[in-house]
Amino acid sequence: MAKRAIVVRYGEEETSFAFTRVDRSKLYGRKERVILDENGDRCVPAYLTPDGAALVPPGGTAHVYVSEGFDHVARGDLRAVDAEGEPLELVESTLGVAQELTPTTPERVLDHTVVSVYQLASDALSEHLAKALADGELFEVPYNYKAGYDPDVLFLLQNEEGVFGLVGRATGFEPLSRERPPEDDDDDDTEDELEGDLDFSMM
């Protein structure tokens, strides 16, 4: 089974999907503005130091991690922790590993921010899963492109263009709505004290 494949399990059947990321440039094409010098050569961006004394070309700067004592910290020595300072468990990549499909709802999708859209293709789509997708059912599975500490969710769906996977990250908040103030039944019976006292000829 290919390691770079999204593998799902529906009932007792497994399906492996090859995936291609769908982005704006693939849908609509793209344009690039190229800056040329007086000789027609392509220009490259550079960084001007704050004092204006030096022009740093691409690759001339780098980011490093430092401790509170300003000692260099190697990237491999970094550890992810939660709000209480406890180490977080590393979640391995889900690619190539069968994940159990769970039926879900459109409301569940709306609780997530979609960060990537994949077009999925399978040479052996299981019969039961094909029928469920054709009937408009939605599914979700855990998804981690590479090992990390914050796995995403992959929503599986189908439309007239094919089968797609939506990579979502939980928004972390509840939708808000404006509450209307209670209506006062006595408003219609309330008399305006100034009613009839206005004389427009005075204006």
Q: Kindly state whether residue 163 falls inside one of the protein's structural domains.
A: yes
At residue 142, what are phi and psi to the nearest 5 degrees? Answer: -65, 145
Residue 186, in any domain of the structure:
no
pLDDT in tens, 129-175: 999 999 999 999 999 999 888 889 999 999 999 999 999 999 877 76
Structural domain boundaries, residue 16: 6-28+90-170
Q: If you write DSSP's letter for every residue of 27-85 in order, what string do you get?
A: HH-------B-TTSPBP---EE-TTSS-EEPTTS----EE-TT--EE-GGG---B-TTS
Give the residue among 23, 27, 18, 16 at the shortest CA–CA distance from 120: 18
Average pLDDT rounded to a whole number, residues 85-111: 92
Q: Using alpha carbons only, what angle is made at residue 13 by residues 11 and 14, rounded to the nearest 5 degrees?
A: 120
Domain annotation covers residue 102: yes
Report if residue 141 sits inside a domain.
yes
Q: Has residue 75 been placed in a domain?
A: no
pLDDT at 189 over 70: no
What's the structural domain count of the chain? 1
Q: Considering the domain boundaries, does residue 106 fall inside one?
A: yes
User: Above 70 in pLDDT, residue 185?
Assistant: no
What single-letter amino acid sits at 193? E
| pLDDT at position 5 over 70 | yes
pLDDT of residue 154: 97
Reference 158, options 128, 122, 126, 132; nearest CA is: 132
Which neighbouring-strand residues pair with 65? Answer: 73
Asked if 130 and 122 touch (Cβ cutoff 8 Å), the reply is: no
Domain-embedded: residue 139: yes
The H or E element containing residue 119 is strand 112-121
E strand or H helix that includes residue 21:
strand 13-21
**Is 20 contained in some domain?**
yes
Q: Tell whether the torsion through CA atoms of 117, 119, 122 and 125 is positive or negative.
A: positive
Two structure tokens written together for 134: 């054709």
